[in-house]
Structure 1
Amino acid sequence: MSQRRIKVLQLQNYYNVNASDLAEQIVQALPAERYDVTTAFLRGRPGPGEPVSKAGRSIYFGYRQSQVSGLRLRALWALYKHCREERYDAVIGHRFKPVNMLMLLNKLLGFRACIGVAHGFGEYDRSFRCWTVRQLVTSNWRLVGVSRAVRNYLVDAKAGFTSANTCQINNAIDIDRAEGLQLPRASARELLGLPADAFVFGAIGRLVPVKGHVHLLRAFAEIKDEWPGALLAIIGEGRSRAELEAVIAELELDGCVRLLGARDDALQYVRAFDSFVMPSLSEGLPLALLEGMSGHLPVIGSDIPSLKPILEDCGGRIFPTRQHVALAEHLRAVMALTDSERIAEGERAYGYLRRAHSIEDFRRQYRELLAGLLEGGRND
């Protein structure tokens, strides 16, 4: 007689499925012959042609944002009925809202294993939230921080997360897939309309204030006259475009800065760059930095908590957040490297990426975490 598969619910706030989505990587970490995984989204659903989860089943509750704010009683009742009917062995929640809902339901349904994933900072800054979570954390819960900085934030939040029930599983990318997607330098530059002979500093990210692009522009303005062969290229789109275009005009950067807009699979263009820059003011999951490393590039980033440990460990360059003059010094230093020195710096970053952020290790750690909880969990 075949053994019953372990039933797992993975709950997210809103629909978002793509190849680098770490929730999808968790699905792929759990062998289908042993685990029966359901992915559920409180809000949103795929449109025509958009991808669906690799889980055996996907559920779209279809709530509006107002229906999952505050007490969320309607959503909680629907989720309770669903979980009671399905009798899940394990639940995995991403970010505060799904984690909090599953903590409440765990008190009623007694799941054998519960995992909450924190992707960034700020979710446990409110004292009432921390008090609530302290009442709900039980021995069958484990909290995961996606970086050393996020894990430390959780433990320091005084929300019932301790060194015993909180762990670090580094955010990761499928490095082999990333390298397979990347176009050769000449092809990438041709498609982006970048000169073949320019030295290109590159960034990938939405054009929104938190990404810090305005500070990158001001830093680049400091070096443009010294290094007339340098170019700054930013892949991404967003509400800050008009502001950034105004800064470009103000600083007379029109000929040497390219706002390239959104690109499908932006990762494929990484090798068009000579160095990768991430000037963010806040990040929970700095996948773009890891993607830059996958292109064997020297990397420069701000000293925010989620970036600094990675940059320290990979031999990258770090500047104080919002300090464009300090960033300009790092741009100068990279420009001054010989070709062999620049290649060596990129290879150091790539080697670190392989050691610390491979998708194979990521999947193994989640698989082992869940298996350990199930072995010691309740079986109500």
Structure 2
Amino acid sequence: MKILHIISSGGMYGAEAVILNLSRTLNEISHSSVLGVFSNSANPNLQLHEAAAKEHIESHLIPCTGQIDRTVVASIRTLAARTNADVVHAHGYKADIYTYLALRRSLIPLVSTCHTWYDNDLFVSLYGMADRMVLRNFAAIVAVSDEVKLRLLKAGVREDKIRLVQNGIDLRPFDNATPSLRGNTPSNHAPIVGLVGRLAYEKGVDIFLRAAASVLVELPSTKFVVVGEGPDRDKLESLIDELKIRESVSMLGRRDDMPSVYASLAIMVSASRQEGLPIAILEGMASRRPILATAVGAVPTIVLDGRTGELLPPENVEALASSIVNLLRDPSRQESLGSAARKLVEEKFAAERMTVDYLHVYEDAISTRAKSTAKSFAPAPTQGKAK
């Protein structure tokens, strides 16, 4: 089976990690995964395309100028034909809409994964409304969590089209990774607390930084790192200066050595206000890191409170700071939580399980499309002759 993935990427984040993990595993079991990555004129964000090339995963760029570019429709149509795709799998509202416009009259079944979405401004809200209308015409729509499934149902997507597939990761890169951040601290023994995510309001990076300021009052040698890029970087840099914690906080931007970054952390924090099923948390758990996370979205299904990490209320600086201090003072608990986290990921969130689930989705989509096509071309029933 050949699957063509289409995405307008904002950088190397959760959806991109899913595509790489899925493509890698599909190719290893004799299927074929091909990528079509938008090259947006304003923000190209070609990291996924470059990462795929390094792993010898076939990837093609789709030039896109501005928010609306009619040439993209022709590019997707041509790419689908050239790659002889059995299924086209779109990721994200922009990819959904363009893929539908390109292939709505094609016999190729369309699948979409709704990783999550945020209606944080008018333009994104309008795109989101158009996306949900388009999704009703796809053969199958994958939700990564129950919360996303509920939003799809409220948007009018038929329940029989929705499939729940939890994210999975390739565990191999996180085995025996060497810490890479020790050199960033004055002392190799200073504990590092980290947050990995897009620098945007929904990720709660500001909450993390305010909690860091409180922790430093009690444990001044602690170091904090934020890994990721995003639109709020300037605001967050200003907040660091306002809190007077510049010497203890590093904004590391995008990193290409994430297994080594996770291996450097004493604790990993997710302070999100909104989430789906975050890949960063799964990667931290695969790295045996204890997780402190806000109980939003599907996070409570992977961070089991008191077993694989600790769950906290969102928007609560004091609770997060207190949990960080208590966990830093208890190395044995750090180790036990981290070991349990790794075990859970091995059992339930490996890429192999995710890939099998997606193959079932693709097979169902092909079958559904074939039945729909056969019905469309079936001859009309003839009228019986009058006696």
**Which TM class, normalised by the smaller chain length?**
0.7 to 0.9
Task: Report how many residues are paired.
Answer: 359
- Which of 313-322 and 11-20 deviates more? 11-20
Change (3 A) 1:153 1:354: farther
Aligned with 2:35 (options 39, 44, 56): 39
Which residue does 2:380 correspond to in 1? none
Question: In the alignment, which residue of structure 2 is the partner of 1:217?
Answer: 209
Identify the match of residue 316 of structure 2 among 309, 319, 323: 323
1:131 and 1:287, CA in 2 relative to 1: closer, same or farther beyond 3 A?
A: closer
Match of 2:142 in 1: 144
Number of the residue aligned with 2:178:
183
Gaps of 5+ in 2: 374-387
State the secondary structure of the residue aligned to 1:66. Answer: coil
Taking only aligned residues, the RMSD between alpha carbons, in angstroms, comes to 3.5
- 1:311 and 2:303 are equivalent in the alignment: yes
Alpha-carbon separation, structure 2, partners of 1:208 and 1:148: 23
Q: Aligned pair in 2 of structure 1 residues 77, 326: CA closer, same or farther (>3 Å)? A: same
Q: TM-score, normalised by structure 1?
A: 0.79
Matched letter for residue 363 of structure 1: T
What TM-score, normalized by structure 2, do the two folds share?
Answer: 0.78
Residues 105 and 50 of structure 1: CA distance in aligned 2, closer, same or farther (over 3 Å): closer
Contact 1:149/1:309 (8 A) holds in 2: no
Residue 22 of structure 1 pairs with residue 18 of structure 2: yes
Partner amino acid, structure 1, of 2:150: N
Alpha carbons of structure 1 residues 266 and 30: separation in structure 2 relative to 1, 3 Å: closer
Residues 80, 88 of structure 2: 8 Å contact kept:
no
Distance 1:274 1:146 in 2: 28
Report what 1:75 is aligned to.
72
1:120 to 105, 116, 140: 116
Deviation at 1:24, TM superposition (A): 2.9
CA 1:35–1:220 in structure 2 vs 1: closer, same or farther (change >3 Å)? closer
Q: Specify the code of the residue in structure 2 equivalent to 1:11.
A: I
2:167·2:277 contact (CA, 8 Å) conserved in 1?
yes
Q: CA deviation at 1:212?
A: 2.0
Q: Quote the Cα distance in structure 2 between the aligned partners of 1:93 and 1:317.
A: 34
Q: Percent identity?
A: 21
Distance between the aligned counterparts of 1:145 and 1:10, measured in 2? 16
Aligned to 1:95: 92
Judge conservation of contact 1:146–1:171 (CA < 8 Å) in 2.
Answer: yes
In structure 2, the residue matched to 1:11 is: 6
From 270, 289, 302, the equivalent of 1:297 is 289
CA contact (8 A) 1:18 1:51 kept: no
Moved more, 19-28 or 146-155: 19-28
1:172 aligns with 2:164: no
Deviation per CA, 1:38-94: give whole Å up to 9, x if none.
4323435759x93445687543331213334xxxx4433454455467764322111
* 8 Å Cα contact 2:74/2:102 also seen in 1: no
**In structure 1, what is the equivalent of residue 251 of structure 2?**
259
For residue 3 of structure 1, what is the aligned residue in structure 2? none
Letter in 1 for 2:339: E
Query: CA–CA distance in 2 between the matches of 1:259 and 1:85?
Result: 42
